[in-house]
Amino acid sequence: MCYRKEQEAFEIKHLSAYAAKSIYSKGRKIHEEECEVRTAFQRDRDRILHSKAFRRLAHKTQVFISPEGDHYRTRLTHTLEVSQIARTIARALRHNEDLTEAISLGHDLGHTPFGHTGEHMLQELTQNDFSHNKHSLRVIEVLENKGQGLNLTYEVRDGIFNHPTSGRPCTLEGKIVQISDKIAYINHDIDDAIRGKVLKKADLPKDCIAILGDSSSNRIHLLISDIIRESNQKDTIQMSDSVKNAFYSMREFLFEKVYVGSLAKQQEDKAKQVIYQLYNYYINKVDKLPKEYIKRLQLGDSEKQIVCDYIAGMTDRFAIHTFCDLFFPASWNIY
């Protein structure tokens, strides 16, 4: 019995008319025989979950660089929180939960060490030729699976690439992930900022709190409920005007008080120097890169590209270890 066909039939019968159906996927770049058990989107989710890039997210910064404490978010815990929020919305609206989960789990695979600090440094060094969403696509199309890529479906690749605010996902599932990403980082970055004594609960804008709620769980519940109510049986994913205005006002508050120039970012210049020094070292000594990256030169990749590939793939601690190994005498044993 082909269980995949049963699930595809279930999607057609029970999912929203606006939901993406796995049987109607635009497919993969390289044709593959279908799995008897899993739909195309389920296979994509599993490939992402078992990838090396996904495991590395556990040791990459979310906002706080090398925080003291076990409960600050990492890029991996952020990813899981996005997935939980997005799946809840997708399930309630009868959209494709498998596609939503695959996009959620893959949306930050291309993030650098030290979070957006590392990304901004690579952007500066490459004259804006690097972005984490663009690199996420490169990870799944080129770098994973020993250089063969994961060969994911068009819809998953589109959702991953288009998850930033400026993106325009082609599916509603992609749009669900796009807004769920913001819901996750806004609420959980508030928690981490309060834990790190960057903010006090009393600092949060009272007009936003009055609408969104006075705790992370209350805010997340309110936002999810509002999106479900405003998007039900519609060809869009949206919030009500009052909630949307409060939500984006809170986001602006965090950019002003946490994301730019706060105590949370006090290690930022040091992290930038690590990325800067590593990039300049390897761009001038490409032969020092691992062999699998050097081989990509023969496939037409530029030196700038493979250096970015290597550095972006590093975890925070591996970047620091490599920096110390390259620029400090071994006898100092500082790492």
* DSSP string for 295-308: HHHHTT--HHHHHH
* Residue that finishes a domain, picked among 265, 281, 301: 265
Residue 274 and residue 238 share a domain: no
Cα–Cα distance between 28 and 156 in angstroms, integer? 10
* CA-based nearest residue to 134, from 9, 271, 312, 320: 312
pLDDT for 68 equals 56
- CA 316 from chain centre, in angstroms, equals 16
Domain span at 183: 3-265
Residue 229 and residue 116 share a domain: yes
**The two structure tokens encoding residue 7:** 């699930």
The pTM for the full model equals 0.94
**The two structure tokens encoding residue 73:** 């978010």
Residue 231 and residue 327 share a domain: no
On whether the CB atoms of residues 283 and 307 are closer than 8 A, the answer is yes
* CA-based nearest residue to 264, from 179, 325, 187, 193: 193
Residue-wise pLDDT for 138-176, tens only, equals 999 999 999 999 999 999 999 999 999 999 999 999 999
On whether the CB atoms of residues 283 and 304 are closer than 8 A, the answer is yes
CA–CA distance from 234 to each of 13, 16, 21, 302, 310 (Å)? Answer: 18, 9, 16, 45, 43
pLDDT for 193 equals 86
Residue 298 and residue 245 share a domain: no
**The two structure tokens encoding residue 209:** 């709190």
Residue 272 and residue 257 share a domain: no
* Residue that finishes a domain, picked among 207, 238, 265: 265
Residue 201 and residue 304 share a domain: no
Residue 273 and residue 227 share a domain: no
On whether the CB atoms of residues 230 and 261 are closer than 8 A, the answer is no
DSSP 7: H
Residue 191 and residue 305 share a domain: no
Q: Give the total number of structural domains in the chain.
A: 2
pLDDT for 67 equals 55
* Residue that finishes a domain, picked among 265, 282, 304: 265
The CB-side HSE value for 297 (13 A sphere, CA atoms) comes to 11
Residue-wise pLDDT for 56-70, tens only, equals 999 998 776 655 555
Residue 211 and residue 105 share a domain: yes
Residues of the chain with pLDDT under 70: 1, 64-71, 260-266, 333-335
* CA-based nearest residue to 132, from 57, 80, 189, 65: 57
Contacts 24+ apart (CB under 8 A), 15-18: 15/94, 15/95, 15/96, 16/93, 16/94, 16/95, 16/233, 18/95, 18/172, 18/234, 18/235
On whether the CB atoms of residues 271 and 65 are closer than 8 A, the answer is yes
Residue 194 and residue 51 share a domain: yes
Cα–Cα distance between 306 and 269 in angstroms, integer? 24
Residue 320 and residue 251 share a domain: no
Residue 317 and residue 255 share a domain: no
Cα–Cα distance between 140 and 109 in angstroms, integer? 8
pLDDT for 171 equals 98
Cα–Cα distance between 319 and 41 in angstroms, integer? 33
Cα–Cα distance between 115 and 314 in angstroms, integer? 11
Cα–Cα distance between 103 and 47 in angstroms, integer? 12
Collapse the DSSP code of 64 into the 3-class scheme (helix H, G, I; strand E, B; otherwise coil) and give the result: coil
CATH number of the domain enclosing 226? 1.10.3210.10
